[in-house]
């Protein structure tokens, strides 16, 4: 029985769901949402804070500040509360209300950017605000999840080895791409191990991470308006782009059998399904997808009929392929 004194000391590393009976796909889902922060972002947050403390960058007088669409903000709110730091999360209007309330409940301050940048969207606007804060007061300490190597090191040290131990015959690994910390940490690990694992990045249509055109995105989590500096394409074998109506459809399909996951998870599973159907049809394959989050924070969006209808129309409710609605799930080869 684990006994802890700090919430960041607990994380479930070895929980997987066999999705074959649920979705008909030969896919195991690694569940990363069963910790007190509710998402995989706890790993990166804990590693970045620990390193900042060790280096002397973070002191008792510091004010942590970070740009986040939600999950990292919750993780940092929890750690800051436990360690006694002030924390300011800079987010935007797409942040779920429940996520904002979670951060505020743990004592964090939340600032929401209301206008996107002309080229880099909401992310660029958030980053500019963080930079202005840091320039205005030396007490602000920006961990910068978009460039901080501890973001990927955390997964190189924990997530990837756990998957490798559980699935020694792993063929394909599907990883959602946001800051690309999870993607880079796991991809580096399997490349260095010499194991022939195909690493497939899953991103959302409208994200510019892999060179696609920017489009409005309403579900927070995956995707970026500014290409992450952590990304190294040489470690990625393939990319699948998922339209948000497909994210909603898969989330609801999983919820219909009792598995309530977040938008990032729905995107990853939708991408994995399409890739397997295209590249491994009927083949015996050992495939794992990483689930970053659970679904409670999406009850007012992904799981709310009125919100879904207002944002996507009938597309997200249809059984047909999303391409019929003009928003195809596409695959892009990585150079």
Q: Give the model's pLDDT for residue 37.
A: 96
Closest by CA position to 102, among listed 117, 121, 130, 81: 81
Closest by CA position to 241, among listed 279, 277, 261, 211: 211
Phi, psi of 220 (to 5 degrees): -70, 160
Is residue 212 helix, strand or coil? coil
Phi, psi of 319 (to 5 degrees): -85, -25
**CA 247/CA 237 separation, integer angstroms:** 22
Q: Give the model's pLDDT for residue 324.
A: 33
Is residue 11 helix, strand or coil? coil
**CA 318/CA 186 separation, integer angstroms:** 34
Kindly tell me if the per-residue pLDDT of 322 is higher than 50: no
Q: What percent of the chain has pLDDT over 90?
A: 79
8 Å CB contact between 211 and 331: no
Kindly tell me if the per-residue pLDDT of 65 is higher than 90: yes
Kindly tell me if the per-residue pLDDT of 318 is higher than 70: no
Q: According to the 3-state scheme, what is the secondary structure of 145-196?
A: CCCCCHHHHHHHHCHHHHHHHHCCCCCEEEEECCCCHHHHHHHHHHHHHCCC
Average pLDDT rounded to a whole number, residues 98-110: 94
The encoded tokens of residue 202 equal 């899953």
DSSP one-letter code for 213? P
Kindly tell me if the per-residue pLDDT of 247 is higher than 80: yes
Q: What is the mean pLDDT of the chain?
A: 91
Instruction: Please write the tens of the pLDDT for every residue from 174-226.
Output: 999 999 999 999 999 999 999 999 999 999 999 999 999 989 888 988 988 88
The encoded tokens of residue 244 equal 């948000």
The encoded tokens of residue 130 equal 């963080």
The encoded tokens of residue 205 equal 């249509």
8 Å CB contact between 284 and 26: yes
Q: What percent of the chain has pLDDT over 70?
A: 93
Domains parsed from the chain with CATH numbers:
7-34+159-321 (3.40.50.1100), 41-142 (3.40.50.1100)
Beta strand pairing status for 238-242 and 86-92?
A: unpaired
8 Å CB contact between 63 and 55: no
8 Å CB contact between 40 and 159: yes
Kindly tell me if the per-residue pLDDT of 328 is higher than 80: no
Q: Point out which residues pair with 288 in neighbouring strands.
A: 28, 173
Band of residue 282 on the pLDDT scale cut at 50, 70, 90:
confident
8 Å CB contact between 312 and 110: no
**CA 191/CA 317 separation, integer angstroms:** 39
Instruction: Please write the tens of the pLDDT for every residue from 131-179.
Output: 999 999 999 999 999 999 999 999 999 999 999 999 999 999 999 999 9
Average pLDDT rounded to a whole number, residues 4-21: 94
Kindly tell me if the per-residue pLDDT of 325 is higher than 60: no
């Amino acid at each position: 029985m684990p006994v802890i004194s700090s919430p960041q000391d607990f994380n479930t590393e070895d929980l997987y769901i066999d999705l074959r009976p649920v979705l008909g796909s030969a896919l195991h889902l690694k569940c990363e949402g069963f910790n007190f922060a509710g998402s995989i972002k706890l790993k990166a947050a804990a590693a970045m804070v620990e390193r900042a403390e060790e280096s002397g960058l973070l002191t008792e007088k510091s004010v942590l500040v970070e740009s986040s669409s939600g999950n990292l903000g919750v993780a940092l709110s929890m750690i800051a509360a436990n360690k006694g730091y002030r924390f300011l999360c800079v987010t935007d209007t797409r942040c779920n209300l429940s996520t904002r309330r979670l951060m505020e409940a743990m004592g964090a301050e939340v600032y929401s950017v209301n206008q996107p940048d002309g080229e880099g969207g909401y992310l660029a606007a958030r980053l500019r605000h963080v930079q202005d804060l840091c320039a205005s007061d030396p007490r602000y300490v920006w961990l910068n999840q978009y460039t901080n190597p501890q973001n990927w090191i955390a997964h190189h040290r924990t997530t990837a080895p756990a998957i490798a131990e559980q699935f020694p015959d792993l063929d394909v690994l599907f990883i959602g791409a946001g800051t690309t910390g999870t993607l880079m940490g796991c991809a580096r690990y399997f490349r260095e191990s010499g194991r022939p694992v195909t690493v497939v990045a899953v991103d959302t249509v409208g994200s510019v991470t892999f060179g696609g055109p920017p489009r409005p995105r309403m579900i927070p989590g995956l995707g970026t308006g500014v290409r992450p500096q952590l990304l190294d394409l040489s470690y990625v074998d393939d990319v699948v782009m998922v339209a948000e109506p497909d994210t909603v459809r898969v989330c609801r399909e999983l919820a219909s059998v009792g598995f309530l996951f977040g938008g990032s998870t729905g995107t990853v599973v939708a991408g994995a399904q399409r890739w397997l159907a295209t590249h491994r049809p009927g083949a015996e394959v050992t495939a794992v997808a990483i689930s970053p989050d659970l679904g409670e924070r999406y009850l007012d969006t992904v799981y709310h009929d009125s919100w879904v209808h207002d944002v996507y129309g009938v597309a997200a409710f249809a059984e047909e392929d999303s391409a019929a609605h003009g928003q195809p799930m596409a695959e892009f080869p990585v150079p």
